[in-house]
A and B are shown apart, each in its own frame.
Chain A
Amino acid sequence: SHTVHASLDPLPMQGPELGVQADDIEAPEIEQEPKQEVLENKDVVVQRVHVDGLGRTKEDLLTYEIAEVFRAKNLIDVMRKSHEARQKLLRLGIFRKVEVVIDTSRGTDALPNGLDVTFEVTELRRMTGSYNTMVGNNEGSMVLGLKLPNVLGRAEKLTFQFSYGTKETSYGLSFFKPQPGHFERNISLNVYKVTGQFPWSSLRETDRGVSAELSFPVWKTNQTLKWEGVWRELGCLARTASFAVREESGHSLKSSLSHAMVIDTRNSSILPRKGGLLKIHQELAGYTGGDASFLKEDFEIQLNKTLFWDSVLSASLWGGLLLPIGDKPTSIADRFYLGGPTSIRGFSMYSMGPQSEGDYLGGEAYWAGGLHLYTPLPFRPGRGGFGDLFRTHFFLNAGNLCNLNYGEGPQAHLKKLAECIRWSYGLGIVLRLGNIARLELNYCIPMGVQSGDRICDGVQFGAGIRFL
């Protein structure tokens, strides 16, 4: 789809739904024998650590996760390391419940200060079905899922998803395999078909693709390498589509290699209070076959800082460049789009920049920036409960989208991106939906509107997972 959002993968496949959220750390649940001795400051030796309740899970997978517990030297340490091991076991996404039992050692070789740590686990069922409603960038969809967790015993996951939405229908099959002992290093194979309708361009797109993705951490960053092969079919959404869009109709094959690097130090991805995000993504198409041939770069930066009185200042910057390689022009399906409640507020969805007869064709270069001040609701109604999900925000958005003129140098392009800047300001209310999405209701005043842009001044509603 038009890639101001990421790829065509139906849902993020890496990692389980049970994740550790930094801002809700639970107290460890530890059962202890009723008759116990006070061992806080006494040295202990962990003699046995084992896992009870395994069915199809292979033991060797878990030894990595629980190995640390052996190194504990006193009871506090044992409790802490057991808690960490429990979180590690949970994040594998193969257990429904993990409980820790610490007991004194029994048996013939038991030491007087020996401890036995047992993780009592309940595995997830072999197959689970799910039904969710999902909020993408200003669209809603119904997602039916079928998941086979831990299908081969080492935390592999097979997922089938079917999603029916206001703009897209898609289905996909995905196989996820983490490296035993290093869950953050994982590989994911996907097969999918996605259909999308884009009324702002009068375009219909059907993508059928396969992809292989390798993810691994390097120091503080998370790196992803991906190969993707997509059969793209473009068509006019209506008979009244502009001829420029009609000319893009037909089939093409894109085979691309891409790399992404993410550094995320924020405490939350929705309404963070501190930390920053840096995401750099590049895609090279055409060197592994296919018809499409281009180099695409885009980045996203976000910085957050808590100010006085519980308010947060947030600044973000996005940008991207699409360079065709060879003589074929770029495809409407690869270009960038700008505008809407999730990017430059006050403008209609993706209705900015190069257009023909009212259909927006996207651009090969763009930048967009946002400055926000989030404050709690005035008078703090429902404090400590429901009211905490809301924030008021004051925002300033700016950006530009244009095409490249081959033959002119980079100076000319930079100049072009700096002319005719669209911008907007306003205020509104933000509602946080779990840790996945947010809703916004804003009053926007668009400025710097160029002829051909479609605006949405006044009240604008937005829902999504990625906002400028």
Chain B
Amino acid sequence: MRRRQRREWEARRRDILFDYEQYEYHGTSSAMVMFELAWMLSKDLNDMLWWAIVGLTDQWVQDKITQMKYVTDVGVLQRHVSRHNHRNEDEENTLSVDCTRISFEYDLRLVLYQHWSLHDSLCNTSYTAARFKLWSVHGQKRLQEFLADMGLPLKQVKQKFQAMDISLKENLREMIEESANKFGMKDMRVQTFSIHFGFKHKFLASDVVFATMSLMESPEKDGSGTDHFIQALDSLSRSNLDKLYHGLELAKKQLRATQQTIASCLCTNLVISQGPFLYCSLMEGTPDVMLFSRPASLSLLSKHLLKSFVCSTKNRRCKLLPLVMAAPLSMEHGTVTVVGIPPETDSSDRKNFFGRAFEKAAESTSSRMLHNHFDLSVIELKAEDRSKFLDALISLLS
């Protein structure tokens, strides 16, 4: 009698643990938690507030939290921003122009648009690229129509943003938002923050996020594995602006490579439906494939690919499938990085079940895999075991 009860208890415990560990999702950004801690100790500074903002924006850029949570957290940070940055500036009390100023902005969600040209930014932001379907000729024409609708001459738009005509830049945000509404893009503007010091240096939070991400995941060989992390960390401080600008250049390269890879995948129909999920695999010889061997870059690529695929396909069932993406990691070890992305829905709660699924599939086929990234949905797999691993995954998820 007692043994039966114990067996039932054990079975229930296993079920509860399985439900608990099945999904992986993200909570409040640790940068924000540290900032709140510093605030409790009354040791908070404007600089720390900026780092908390960058942490939150990183979660939003990599689609780790829901829109609702992002907006709530932005509200929390906005209170801190007005507390630190509301000096009553008038004739008598102007602050030196070198001081750090953070301000709340309701700015466009075009990536790096102030450090790039408007045209490049429109082509390389996944939101606009997917909605306009820029991998097709028809999409390019729609982009031209969009620009013509706003009255922006092509020559101006292809210039560096800082060199654009001031008369065009004045109402740019509202103009773009209006035209974007006409073309079916309702969320062109997003609530974010920008930092401003000296005469020249103005950055949006998402700019800094992309710069540090590229620094951390750049494919250049280095001595120890931690060098990239330290470089990315350095670039966040005000005295290392040259590293930040270097990161911005790397980010531009990364974004361009992402969009080109997406365009080639969609045009050559590399995304195939395997039943319960979509599967795409990057071949060895694809240009810039080494840029996508690290987890965050590959995850970002896969998310954008899924968004673009959902916009491009007519198959209703395929729009609700998750995506599994594989990219070569290292030639000499013969490994690939595999990443799993949950399906794309408007109100998804960003819970990812691929971590456990990968584990179970690898166990059942005894494939050699390394499952030790921070993100549980990214694994390294031996290339030979790929096909049996995929078969196991298909049977697991169907």
Pairing of A with B: no
Give chain B's interface residues, CB within 8 Å of chain A. Answer: none
Give chain A's interface residues, CB within 8 Å of chain B. Answer: none
